[in-house]
Amino acid sequence: MALRKIKPQTPGQRFKVVTDFDVVTAERPEKSLLAPMKRSGGRNSEGKMTMRYIGGGHKKRYRIIDFKRNKDGIPATVKSIEYDPNRTAYIALLHYADGEKRYIVAQNGLQVGQTVISGDKVIPEIGNTMLLSSIPLGTVISCIELRPGQGAVMARSAGSFAQLMAREGKYATVKLPSSEIRLILLTCKATIGVMSNSDHQLTVSGKAGRHRWLGRRPRTRPVAMNPVDHPMGGGEGRASGGHPRSRNGIPAKGFKTRSKTKESNKHIVERRKK
């Protein structure tokens, strides 16, 4: 996996940095694992705009991903590593021994032809999914469940990973990508390895049009708005806008928005570092 800096033959290519896609081995997705995606343009069921700066973009189809990895004990062969327009990490197409095909989010180092398996007592190798009770301490993990059987919800984006720190009672202590240290039930599953496409955060789009292709419309700066539109708007001349805050008036820096009475607070050993 490498980055490629484009030669400045046009203004849009001057600062453009893209991933090499040398890991990707297939150009077309598996048809049986595709689903249609309806684009909302930021509108709700009544047609009213509830999310700004969304619209346009290239037509996409959703790849049905197996986040639960619940085919325990059945080995699967990695047939291809593919690009997924709906997420930052790459995905891998698995052919199971019983004939079923499934997509999973690919870990860094996953190779075509490699065999992966999920279950309780399997070898802790890249791409294998295990219970937290079976994973050796200190192992780098990703695609972590928060509740047993729920499916992976944490450490799923490109280059992210967590680390299994300790086990005590029915809980495992896991250090998450945000640096938060949290207790997770030992009966939850996690996948061995770091998420693929770790160079994603170093890419540079180069021009505004590439953001439009992704369905992102231009974003208006709050300080350029009127007072009726945003708390940071208005003022004579070029005003600073005051304290950074959201459109609803919630401060953007240093203000804790997590509820003090939230049920899962007791599972957080150490909050994320600012």
pLDDT tens-digit readout, 239-258: 999 999 999 999 999 898 99
Compute the residue count for the chain.
274
What value, to the nearest 5°, has the Cα angle with vertex 81 and ends 60 and 154?
Answer: 75
Top CATH class of 3-201 equals mainly beta
pLDDT tens-digit readout, 78-98: 999 999 999 999 999 999 999
Q: Are strands 91-96 and 61-63 parallel, antiparallel or unpaired?
A: unpaired
Residue 168 CB partners (closer than 8 Å, separation 6+): none
Residue 218 CB partners (closer than 8 Å, separation 6+): 53, 208
Domain ranges of the chain: 3-201
pLDDT reported for residue 2: 85
- The model carries a pTM of 0.92
Beta bridge partners of 61: 36
User: What stretch of H or E contains 144?
Assistant: strand 144-145
pLDDT tens-digit readout, 17-44: 999 999 999 999 999 999 999 999 999 9
